[in-house]
Every structure is written in C-alpha cells, then in structure tokens.
Amino acid sequence: MRVSVLPAALALVAATLAAGAAPAAADTAAGPVLTVDLEAGTAALHHNTARVTYARVDGEVNSVRIISVEIVSGERDCAWVSWNDPHNVNGWSNLTSEPSCNGTGLVESPDEVIKAPAGHPLKVRLAADHGSDVVHKDTEKL
C-alpha cells in the first residue's frame, strides 16, 4: 500500500504561508480607526469641509497615525488641514502637501505619525482663506 505525500505537503505549505502572514498583521495601526469631521465658513461659496481619519499608536503617549485627509474647499476659498505641532514656530504643521482651492476636493493618505509631549492635546484644524488671511477655521481635538 502506497501512502500519498500530497496531504502532508499541502499542510506544510499552508503552515508556511500562515507563519509568513503573521508579521504583516503586527505592522498595522493599533486600535480602532477614528475620524474627525471639520467644517469652516458659511454656506454657499465659503463652505469648507474636511475629514481626518486616524488611529492611536499603541504604546505611545500622545501619538496618532494620520491615515487620510479629505478636504473640499468653498468655491471662493483655499482650505487646508494642519495639526498643532509643538515644534513648529507658528504652532501648526500642514497634513497635506497643498491646499484645496476654488471648490475642488483633495484626498491624501500621508500615513504619518504625529507626536506631542504628554499634556499637549493633539488637535487638527481646517483653515480657509480668501487670498491672504485665514477667515474661517474649525479646530477639533484628536
């Protein structure tokens, strides 16, 4: 009687694949994915909205991973999202590479970890202008 080695070989391949997949799962962000919705300006031509999707970094104090940033600017505005960076001279650092302007939308996935010292509450801000000065803003705590 001949014993087939095929089932044993399949079991070995399956175990190898399962073991190789385990480290990839450890690289994912810890905790649930959260969102913050921001709204700045008045209705109609100066209505700006944004959504920041993030996750807390496991084991780190006051650290979050920014997964994505979505902005829709008002038709007469430029809008951007920033965070209250304690290391920046003006107190804010942009989370997107450019603003969203004149009614367009912008979606970026920076996959960036932002950190602040303990006791410094992390915040994001949607700011919009009509050409020079910030005239609309909304700030929310992460």
User: What is the CATH number for 71?
Assistant: 2.60.40
Tokens for 94, please give them.
């942009």
- The mean pLDDT value of the chain amounts to 83
Q: Is residue 74 part of a domain?
A: yes
Could you tell me the residue range of the domain that residue 108 belongs to?
Answer: 33-141
Q: Is residue 99 part of a domain?
A: yes
The one-letter amino acid code at 29 reads A
CA–CA separation, 112 and 73 (whole Å): 23
Q: Is residue 4 part of a domain?
A: no
* pLDDT tens digits, one per residue of 8-45: 444 444 444 444 444 334 444 467 999 999 999 987 88
* Number of domains observed in the structure of the chain: 1
Handedness of CA 50, 55, 56, 57 (dihedral sign): negative
Q: What percent of the chain has pLDDT over 90?
A: 65
CA–CA separation, 11 and 7 (whole Å): 6
pTM: 0.76
Residues paired with 108 in a beta bridge: 69
